[in-house]
Amino acid sequence: MSRLPIIHSAQAIELGQYSLEEVHLEFSNGERRLYERLHSHRSPGAVIIAAIPDPDTVLLIREYAVGTHCYELGLPKGRMDAGESILEAANRELKEEVGMGARTLTYLRSLTLAPTYMSNAIHLVLAEDLYPERLPGDEPEELEVIPWKMDRLHELMLRDDCSEARSLAALFIVREAIKQRASQSEPLVAIAKG
């Protein structure tokens, strides 16, 4: 396996909440290249939440996506606030976007969107033992909450209004984690319970 390239220099160009960094690299074979990567520097990270009211159902939201100028189905997600843990951020976002809190939160893994040119990661959290609680969020309109059966994920991934790769990948990870837990008759290791 090759060793990591040497970073000779990096210069950032500020673009609002992001910075575009020009990175001058030297690879193990002596090749030099200029790469660009996008950093988010206003947030310590982001969370994506799979809230399951029962093992067969996940709660989706329908929200406006300005990038594609349409309404999209997906999992609730949002940026972490300074000083928040992954699980605290997940529970807050769940309360803001779905109107539910979770007594059991389990960190499953981190996902990247485009690691070849973006440094951002989003942390996937499974939320269980839900209860009603709403916090005010920053959404300009109330989000529609849609219960979706896990055995119908194949239908969801073919819908035009569900194109966000992070949500689709997260849903399949969650489905497999739940299957694994059921086959082992053991709970997933929960980082914290709230």
Do 30 and 91 sit in the same domain of this protein?
Answer: no
Band (182; pLDDT cuts 50, 70, 90): confident
Cα 93 to Cα 82: distance, rounded to the nearest angstrom? 14
Mean pLDDT, rounded, for 9-37: 85
Q: Are residues 156 and 82 in the same domain?
A: yes
Domains held by the chain: number:
2
* Percent of the chain topping pLDDT 90: 55
In a domain, residue 111? The reply is yes
d(CA 23, CA 18): 15
The answer to whether residue 169 scores a pLDDT higher than 80 is yes
Q: What is the pLDDT of residues 99-122, one digit of tens each?
A: 999 999 999 999 987 777 777 889
> For residue 151, what are the CA distances in angstroms to 58, 80, 178, 189?
10, 30, 12, 24
Query: By residue range, what is the domain housing residue 21?
Result: 6-40
Q: Is residue 139 part of a domain?
A: yes
Which of 40, 143, 162, 55 is CA-nearest to residue 93? 143
54 token code pair: 């029962």
Statement to judge: residues 59 and 22 lie in one domain: no
In a domain, 55, yes or no: yes
CB 40 within 8 A of CB 80: no
**Could you tell me the CATH number of the domain that includes residue 87?**
3.90.79.10
Q: Are residues 23 and 54 both part of a single domain?
A: no
131, part of any domain:
yes
**95 located within any domain:** yes
Residue 1 located in a structural domain: no
99 and 121 fall within a common domain: yes
Q: Are residues 171 and 88 part of one domain?
A: yes
Q: Do both 133 and 185 map to the same domain?
A: yes
Residues 165 and 136 in one domain: yes
Please report, for residues 50, 75, 112, 151, the alpha-carbon distance to residue 172 in angstroms, rounded to integers and kept in the order given.
10, 12, 15, 11
Are both 36 and 61 inside the same structural domain?
no
My answer on whether 18 and 112 are in the same domain is no
- The answer on 95 and 65 residing in a single domain is yes
Q: Are residues 139 and 184 in the same domain?
A: yes
Residues 160 and 167: their CA atoms lie apart, in Å, by 14
Beta-bridge partner residues of 39: 19
Q: Which residue has the higher pLDDT, 118 or 175?
A: 175
